[in-house]
């Protein structure tokens, strides 16, 4: 199963140094039966994109925490790690596409890394500050989050992970 793991730049750096990705709280997103049911139409590719988008929104939440803790050196870019594993359980108590992993994901199971380009940083920083209010229905905050989500995530191969981390340092 293809899963999408929300991340931040420091999490990518730890992945490079340890050889495995440690998902916060074991949470990831995937094309689950519940996610499939929540869409009236769409092929698997479109629904996979929806799961990745949920992970990107979760990355904003992770960035909000890091920025709130004063981590000013963290690049303001959403990060989503795509991996292939069947070692997941469904999380019907969370979002439609939420799954839980039982442990870290080895780098060998990473299929791709998706990150914002530098030109998205201003919008992502604004969105990270507003994501909680957006989740509660604040229209101005939803607009700010939408501005960040208008930026497409760039795709990187797993072999480019160390280079990508160095580039963002």
SS3 assignment for the chain: CEEEEEECHHHHHHHHHHCEECCHHHEEEECCHHHHHCCCCCCHHHHHHHHHHHHHHHHHHHHHHHHHCCCCCCCCCCEEEEEECCCEEECCCCCCCEEEECCCEEHHHEEEEEECCHHHHHHHHHHHHHHHHHHCCCHHHHHHHHHHHCCCCEEECHHHHHHHHHHHC
Indicate the pLDDT class of residue 169, thresholds 50, 70 and 90: low
Q: What is the pLDDT of residues 51-88, one digit of tens each?
A: 999 999 999 999 999 898 877 788 999 999 999 998 89
Domains of the chain: 2-121+152-158 (3.20.170)
Tens of pLDDT, residues 19-56: 999 998 899 999 887 887 777 677 888 888 989 999 99
């Amino acid at each position: 199963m293809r899963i999408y793991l929300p991340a931040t730049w420091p999490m990518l750096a730890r992945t490079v140094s340890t050889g495995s990705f440690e998902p916060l709280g074991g949470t990831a997103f995937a094309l689950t039966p519940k996610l499939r049911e929540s869409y009236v139409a769409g092929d698997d590719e479109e629904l996979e994109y929806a799961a990745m988008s949920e992970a990107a929104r979760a990355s904003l939440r992770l960035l909000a925490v890091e920025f709130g803790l004063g981590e000013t050196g963290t690049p303001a870019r959403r990060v989503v790690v795509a991996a292939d594993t069947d070692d997941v359980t469904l999380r019907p108590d969370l979002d439609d596409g939420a799954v839980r992993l039982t442990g870290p994901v080895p780098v060998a199971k990473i299929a791709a890394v998706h990150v914002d380009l530098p030109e998205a940083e201003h919008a992502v920083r604004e969105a990270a500050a507003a994501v909680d209010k957006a989740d509660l229905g604040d229209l101005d905050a939803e607009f700010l989050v939408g501005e960040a989500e208008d930026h497409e995530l760039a795709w990187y191969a797993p072999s480019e992970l160390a280079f990508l981390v160095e580039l963002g340092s």
